[in-house]
Amino acid sequence: MSYKLNTAHHENFFKAFSRVPDNSFDLCVTSPPYYNARKYGSEWDGFQSPTDWFHFCDDMLACVAQVMKPEGIIWWNTASGYESGKRLTVVEQLIVSAERRGLYLIDKIPWCKTSFLPKNYQNRPYPAREENLIFSKAPVLAVYYRDQVRRPYAESTLKRLEYPVGNLQADEKGEFTKRKMVKPHPDGKTVPNYLVGRVDVSKRDHPAPMATWVAEFAINAYSKKGDFVLDPMCGIGTTLVKAIELDRFALGFDANEEYVDKANEAIWAITMMTTPVPMSPLSEPM
């Protein structure tokens, strides 16, 4: 069995992962089904309980970890889920369970949504946030490509940097540090560990596609050109398309055939203009 790269495959990842060689991917960018929030049109629609959802996520994460390179990164986009007025702790349980297995949390990068239609809840504000959990089997080997995700400085910052800057804290000897000139980086400022941005309002053929700009950020922050990117639950292929556009190799799976067809249509639309995919360990017969 071999899997063609830059393609979405109609397969349940719980079956597919054992046919993918271990240590294959530099980056996985994925968003598993939410807890009973959406209908995905597959056998994975309904979780009986939060525990059921936890086991699904926990098993999936373990399968993904097996096919990641030691230095690889898993970007796991999820939302916490609520039931009976309570916030579920599945995300926290997942982090603890992953760590016990040797998959470590590098950080959480929440996405705060700037556009949403708030509903009222009796005991809490509207949950306008999703979590991005960043995991690695060997965090000290993992690389964050900060220069690929720099953002323009605000006008006010650039103005401020025309003068010497420094803080007003004394050092260990009780001396105040001298203010000095700081040059702005030519490619912009580094970003904090949270994302702020719009919900994807484009009418795409999926009940919960990942926001394209979030996938783009994840790929730029944690991979370089020529790297191998996986999405084991790729839906209509947001991660795959972005990865290919950014000159990475991409492989995706989804349990729903309709989504896989849409993903491949989107991939063909962008790859018609590019060169054929070279052979790689992943596309050779196993």
Indicate which single residue of 6, 7, 31, 132 sits in contact with ligand SAM (rule: CB under 6 A): 31
236 binds ligand SAM (CB under 6 A): yes
Number of chain positions touching ligand SAM (CB under 6 A)? 24
Report the residue number, 26 or 254, with the smaller CB distance to ligand SAM: 254
- For residue 213, the minimal CB distance to ligand SAM (Å) is 12
Q: Which is nearer to ligand SAM, 48 or 167 (CB)?
A: 48
Number of Cβ atoms within 10 Å of the Cβ of 103 = 22
Q: Among 13, 53, 75, 228, which residue interacts with ligand SAM (rule: CB under 6 A)?
A: 13
Binding residues among 244-283 for ligand SAM as defined by CB under 6 A: 253-256, 259
Which of residues 139 and 197 has its CB atom nearest to ligand SAM in the complex? 197
Of 67, 130, 209, 246, which lies in the binding site for ligand SAM, with binding defined by CB under 6 A? 209
DSSP string, the chain: ----SSEEEES-HHHHGGGSPSS-EEEEEE-PPPSSS---SSTTS--SSHHHHHHHHHHHHHHHHHHEEEEEEEEEEE---EETTEE--HHHHHHHHHHHTT-EEEEE--EEESS------SSS----EEEEEEEESSGGG----GGGG-BPPPHHHHHHTTS-B----B-TTSPBPPPB--PPPTT-B---S-EEE----S--SSSSPPPHHHHHHHHHHH--TT-EEEETT-TTTHHHHHHHHTT-EEEEEES-HHHHHHHHHHHHHHHTTSPPPPP-TTTS--
Binding flag, residue 210, ligand SAM (CB under 6 A): yes
Mark 102-141 with x for binding to ligand SAM (rule: CB under 6 A) and - for no binding.
----------------------------------------
- Region near ligand SAM per CB under 6 A, out of 163-171, 172-180, 233-241, 274-282: 233-241
Instruction: Give the C-alpha separation, 254 to 17, whole Å.
Output: 12
Contact between 82 and ligand SAM by CB under 6 A: the answer reads no
Minimum gap (Å) between residue 275 Cβ and ligand SAM: 25
Structure tokens at 179: 């203010």
> Of all residues in this chain, which one has the CB nearest to ligand SAM in the complex?
235
Rule CB under 6 A: say whether 238 interacts with ligand SAM: yes
Contacting positions for ligand SAM (CB under 6 A): 12-14, 31-33, 40, 42, 44, 206, 208-210, 232-236, 238, 253-256, 259
